[in-house]
């Protein structure tokens, strides 16, 4: 029924911490500092609709902290096929350093391979 659909939507929005349910008062948009920015939907919506340099800066800091450990972990477990994909993407990045779109595509492939 449509009520079940609405309840499920509210549950989903509450799980993303976008809304708060207040007894006898209804649903309210939660303060932004409570939103679940680790949820991929929330992050995508925010990045597409409300550019916030502070969020970009915070995400870059987290990436700089986490990425080296992930790269080390991946390097310790890489197969020869994995290394070939990484090297191929890296070579494409070098070859396309003047073509932003091609470089970015190769960069994405590089990070996916790692």
Higher pLDDT among residues 102 and 1, named by residue: 102
The stretch 73-99 carries a mean pLDDT of 93
Measured at the CA of 29, the angle between CA 6 and CA 31, to 5 degrees, comes to 145
Total-model pTM: 0.54
pLDDT of residue 65: 94
Mean pLDDT over the full length of the chain: 91
Q: Are 10 and 17 in contact (CB under 8 A)?
A: no
pLDDT of residue 55: 84
Alpha-carbon distance 90 to 82, whole Å?
A: 12
Condensed to tens digits (0 to 9), the pLDDT of residues 37-51 reads: 889 999 898 888 887
Residues in the chain: 114
* 114 pLDDT more than 90: no
């Amino acid at each position: 029924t449509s009520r079940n659909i609405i309840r499920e939507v509210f549950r989903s929005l509450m799980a993303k911490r976008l809304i708060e349910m207040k007894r006898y008062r209804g649903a309210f948009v939660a303060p932004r500092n409570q939103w679940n920015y680790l949820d991929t939907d929330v992050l995508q919506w925010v990045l597409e609709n409300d550019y916030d340099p502070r969020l970009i800066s915070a995400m870059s800091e987290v990436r700089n902290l986490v990425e080296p450990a992930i790269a080390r972990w991946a390097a310790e477990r890489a197969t020869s096929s994995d290394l070939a994909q990484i090297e191929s993407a890296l070579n494409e990045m070098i070859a396309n350093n003047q073509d932003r779109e091609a470089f970015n595509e190769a960069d994405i492939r590089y990070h996916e391979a790692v």
